[in-house]
Amino acid sequence: MLTLSGIPQNRIITVYAEEEIEFQGYLLSWDAGHTLLACVDRYGENDGFLLLHTDSLYRIDYDSLYEQKLETLYTEKKQSHDAPPLPGKNETLLQSVLSWVQWTHKLARFAFSDQEDLCGYIETIDPLQIRQMDLFTCQPGHSSACVIPENVDFIWIDNRQARDAELIFQARGETDV
């Protein structure tokens, strides 16, 4: 497993993980099961949070000209992330993040390697039940899905697409989606 201690948490890093996952952002926290990243997109803007399996990480880059550029854009565009609280005692990072996503009613995308991604709001955590939303057309879904957290490759929370969808819901007056 890749060593995460010593990776600067105040610098933008590029994370590479299995299933051709590649993201830029700030390393927020990690435990044996999961790693949480505050994502930054190619324009240096807040792109939500990414939770992925720690043992799927195989490479981390930092301090390259590209990451330095993103850091400058992030600062100059006055970007920030309202990070989730750190896990409590006897709580895993996964449990803590899922609780926060449910509590703050954030849209999340659940990505799988062997099936289509799921997007939606967390209804219950145990079992993990997702009320599905279509982020492309911004239509509320009519179904819920049960997800086994271990089978999810990554969970992308409150990214730009999700925030855009929420703007559309608000514009339509759909407050309780």
Q: Is residue 7 within the footprint of another protein (CB under 8 A)? A: yes
Q: Is residue 61 within the footprint of another protein (CB under 8 A)? A: yes
Q: Is residue 63 within the footprint of another protein (CB under 8 A)? A: yes
Q: Is residue 73 within the footprint of another protein (CB under 8 A)? A: no
Residue 74 Cβ, how far from another protein at the closest point, in Å? 17
CA distance 4 to 31: 10
Q: Is residue 71 within the footprint of another protein (CB under 8 A)? A: no
> By CB under 8 A, which span of 58-66, 79-87, 133-141, 159-167 interacts with another protein?
58-66
> By CB under 8 A, which span of 57-65, 106-114, 130-138, 142-150 interacts with another protein?
57-65
Checking 92-97 for CB contacts under 8 A at 24+ apart, the result is: 92/31, 92/33, 92/34, 93/29, 93/30, 93/31, 93/33, 93/34, 93/35, 93/36, 93/51, 94/33, 94/34, 94/51, 94/149, 95/125, 97/34, 97/36, 97/49, 97/51, 97/155, 97/157
**By C-beta, is 7 or 145 nearer to another protein?**
7
Binding residue for another protein, selected from 36, 46, 53, 67, defined by CB under 8 A: 67
Q: Is residue 54 within the footprint of another protein (CB under 8 A)? A: no
Residue 139 Cβ, how far from another protein at the closest point, in Å? 36
Tokens of 76: 């100059």
Q: Is residue 105 within the footprint of another protein (CB under 8 A)? A: no
Tokens of 70: 């993103």
Q: Of 144, 157, 138, nearest to 99 (Cα)?
A: 157
Angle, vertex CA 135, rays to CA 134 and CA 138, nearest 5: 75
Residues that bind another protein (CB under 8 A): 1-3, 7, 16, 20, 58-65, 67
